[in-house]
Amino acid sequence: MLAKRIIPCLDVRNGKVVKGVNFEGIRDVGDPVVCAEEYNKQGADEIVFYDITASFEGRGVFLDVVRETAKKVFVPLTVGGGIKDVDDIREALRAGADKVSVNSQAVKNPQLIKDGADIFGSQCICVGIDAKKIADHKWTVYINGGRVDMGIDLIDWVHQIEKLGAGEICLNSIDADGTKEGFDIEMLKAVCDNCTIPVIASGGAGKINDFYEVFEKTGATAALAASLFHFKELTVGQVKDYCRNKGVIVR
């Protein structure tokens, strides 16, 4: 049986790991390559590197981080942030990433999903979505780190990206992100029930039972968290042991 995945995310700026709360108030927590090795030891099923650097110079440093990690850590690596076109995807894959996560740019230019999938295969195109609730059972898609509401219905967007060839969705709830009050079960359920590609739950993990809950109540095949693992409130291993004891299949 396919195991549920636990995915730590490393937000990287200028070659250092940082983590923002609600995308603001950034704190520095260290060397991303060392963090990735540690997560690998803990049993992380994949590792996400998110580039929150805006500069050209920062990008080089960021890709060096991916390159170094890929020599030491043999689990899938995903690169998110700063992917604007097919060349950026190629560059990330050449640096050792197995997948890229496209978010804002995919909303602005959905063709990027199709082009990426056609050239590199659907398996390496993960579409990141930041969404926020606007009414009962209704969410809209945001871009630019959750700052700009595009007014696009979440479920419509999910249908569209699936058709364009996305291989996976990483769904981040703006409402839940940084709250530590658990994943956004309602939104995740709505998305999982409306697509046939894998969905990674993101945003809101605060305690160990949140991971069990998201696997129990939604069709998410993976759960992602950043600060929780960075600040060592929980290890990936603890989360997996807990889920395993509750009957969830994990590696």
Partner 1 sequence: MIAIIDYGAGNIFSVKNALDYLGFESRLVSDKESIIAADSVILPGVGAFPAAMKKLEGTGLIDTIKSEAQKKPFLGICLGMQLIFDKGYEFEECDGLGLINGSVRKMEEPELIIPHMGWNKLEKLNDCPLMNGVGGNEYVYFVHSYKAHCEDKNISAYCEYGGRVPALVYDGKYVFGAQFHPEKSGETGLKILKNFGGLK
Active site residues: 11, 130
**Mask: binding to partner 1, 3-42, rule CB under 8 A, as x and -?**
xxx----------------------------------x--
The yes or no reply on residue 247 touching partner 1 (CB under 8 A) is: no
Six-digit token string for 70: 């890929």
Using CA atoms, how far residue 135 sits from 61, 140, 145, 196, in Å, is: 41, 9, 21, 25
The yes or no reply on residue 83 touching partner 1 (CB under 8 A) is: no
* Residues between 162 and 221 that touch partner 1 (CB under 8 A): 167-168, 196-198, 219, 221
Shortest reach from residue 106's CB to partner 1, in Å: 18
In the block, residue with structure tokens 């960021």: 62
Pick from 30, 68, 62, 31: which is nearest to 49 by CA? 62
Query: Going by DSSP bridges, is the β-strand pair 148-153/138-143 parallel, antiparallel, or unpaired?
Result: antiparallel
The yes or no reply on residue 88 touching partner 1 (CB under 8 A) is: no
Of the residues 75, 150, 152, 208, which one makes contact with partner 1 according to CB under 8 A: 75
- Count of residues in contact with partner 1, rule CB under 8 A: 31
CA distance 127 to 38: 26
In the block, residue with structure tokens 């590199």: 120
Shortest reach from residue 149's CB to partner 1, in Å: 29
Of the residues 55, 109, 111, 123, which one makes contact with partner 1 according to CB under 8 A: 123
CA distance 84 to 101: 11
Shortest reach from residue 67's CB to partner 1, in Å: 9
**Mask: binding to partner 1, 138-157, rule CB under 8 A, as x and -?**
--------------------
Q: Look up residue 31 and give its DSSP letter.
A: -
CA distance 196 to 89: 24
**Sign of the C-alpha dihedral, residues 25, 40, 54, 167?**
negative
The yes or no reply on residue 222 touching partner 1 (CB under 8 A) is: yes
Exposure letters 96-117 (e unless 16+ CB within 10 A, then b): bbbbbbbbbbbbeebebbbbbb
Q: Look up residue 4 and give its DSSP letter.
A: B
Smaller CB separation from partner 1, 27 or 94: 94
Shortest reach from residue 142's CB to partner 1, in Å: 25
Of the residues 53, 122, 202, 218, which one makes contact with partner 1 according to CB under 8 A: 122
Question: Using CB under 8 A, which of the segments 25-33, 88-96, 102-110, 231-239 binds partner 1?
Answer: 88-96
CA distance 73 to 145: 28
Positions in the binding site for partner 1 (CB under 8 A): 1-5, 40, 45, 70-72, 74-76, 93-94, 96, 98, 120-124, 167-168, 196-198, 219, 221-222, 251
